[in-house]
Structure 1
Amino acid sequence: MRNAIKIDKDTIITIDNSGCIGEKEHDYVKVSNEVAAYYSARVSILEQWCAGAQPTHLFLANFTSEEAWGDYEKGFAKVFEEIGEKMPPLNGSTESNFTSMQSGLSLTVVGKIAFEVNEENCDWFIVGKPLVGEEVVNNLNDVAKLNELILLIKLGVVKHVWPVGSKGIKAECKKIFKNNEIECALPLEKSGGPSTCVIVAVDREQLEQFYEIVSVPVEQLIIK
């Protein structure tokens, strides 16, 4: 697993935070609240898949405003619509005593183990490109697609997914491959933002199907 926490034999907890991204005057990245929520949910769900789990419950900590709640809920719903799953129940809390100058949310996802993670007889690839900030909304064709990833998982083509975070591909690979050196055409230390690129283990016997399904850029990851 990456940053997920396993609290019993089949319950997985993941979390993602989004700060200074939204519609407020002092936000660093100006996007709709719905878009901010979409990408936060994206990260938390990829963390669930990394642990072999599917989401069952969502919990939102909303620091932006009471009015933002509905937009955040729409953003979460968009992710589940994309992957063809019913959105789990959403609960949480809004900071209503004080008004913040910048947007902020934290999404906690509870999930249950749903499929096996297996890296045997696999080759490794990066799906998508590392993007951050306004690069994300300006380069949507370079962002790994959740609907394609979940299809590949269900077909057994992809055996493991590992989202890339703010520390970049190299830092994630150290967690997966320990001290092994890696080689890839992508910038290895650039932030992956809201997991715009994902490390995947692909069954060597199904590489052709992998390339047929993935519509965004793909780079092979060489493990030395």
Structure 2
Amino acid sequence: MRNAIKIDKDLVVTIDNSGCIGEKEQDVVKVPNELAAYYSARVSILEQWCAGAHPTHLFLANFTNQEAWQDYEKGFRKVFAELGEKMPPLNGSTESNFDSLQSGLSLTVIGKVVFEVNEENCDWFIVGKPLVGEEVVNQPEDVAKLEELLLLIKMKVIKHVWPVGSKGIKAECKEIFKNNEIQCNLPLEKSGGPSTCVIVAVDREQLDQFQDSITAPIEKLKIC
């Protein structure tokens, strides 16, 4: 697992935060609230998959304003619609006593273990490119697509998913491969933003299926 917490053998909790990203005047990155929520949900879902789980419940902490809730919910629904699924039940709370100067949300996801995580007989790849800020909006073709990943997880082509966060590819690989050196043609220390790229373990006997099914850029990860 990456940042997930197992409650018991079946339940997994993950969380993602988004701050200073949205529609307020003092936000650092100006995007629709719906898009900010979309990418926050994306990260939490990837964290679930990393632990072999899939979302069953969503909890939103909305620090922006009451009006933003509807847009955040639309962003969450969009992610699950792309996966061909109905959004799980959503609950949470909004800060309504004070007006914040910048946007903020936190999404907690509870999921159930449904996938087997197994790295045996696998080659490692990075799907997508590390993007941050406006790059995420301007380079959608370089973002790993969740629906493609989920299909390959269900087909047992992809046997482990590991999202890349703000610390970059190198830091994530250190968690996976410990003291082994890695080689890759992508910038290893650049922030992965809202997990626009994902490290995956692919069954060696199904590499053709993997490469034929992914539309985002693919880079081989060499473990030394």
Q: TM-score range by the shorter chain?
A: over 0.9
Aligned to 1:27: 27
Deviation at 1:123, TM superposition (A): 0.1
Partner-residue secondary structure (3-state), 2:42: helix
Divergent runs of 4+, >2 A = none
Aligned to 1:53: 53
Deviation at 1:187, TM superposition (A): 0.3
Aligned to 1:182: 182
Matched letter for residue 166 of structure 1: S
Aligned to 2:110: 110
What are the within-5 Å matches in structure 2 for residues 56-205 of structure 1?
A: 56-205=56-205
Aligned to 1:219: 219
Deviation at 1:9, TM superposition (A): 1.0
Partner-residue secondary structure (3-state), 1:148: helix
Deviation at 1:122, TM superposition (A): 0.2
Matched letter for residue 112 of structure 1: K
Deviation at 1:85, TM superposition (A): 1.5
Q: Distance in 1 between matches of 2:9 and 2:121?
A: 26
Task: Write out per-residue CA displacement over residues 64-107 of structure 1, whole angstroms, 9 at most, x where no aligned residue.
Answer: 00000000000000000011111100000000000000000000
Matched letter for residue 211 of structure 2: Y
- How many residue pairs get matched? 224
Q: Distance in 2 between matches of 1:76 and 1:195?
A: 16
Aligned Cα RMSD in Å?
Answer: 0.3
Q: Distance in 1 between matches of 2:53 and 2:96?
A: 33
Q: Distance in 1 between matches of 2:133 and 2:50?
A: 23
Matched letter for residue 50 of structure 1: C
What's the % identity of the aligned pairs?
82
Aligned to 1:42: 42
Matched letter for residue 115 of structure 2: F
Q: Show structure 2 runs of 5+ residues with no match.
A: none
Give the structure-2-normalised TM-score.
1.00
Q: Show structure 1 runs of 5+ residues with no match.
A: none
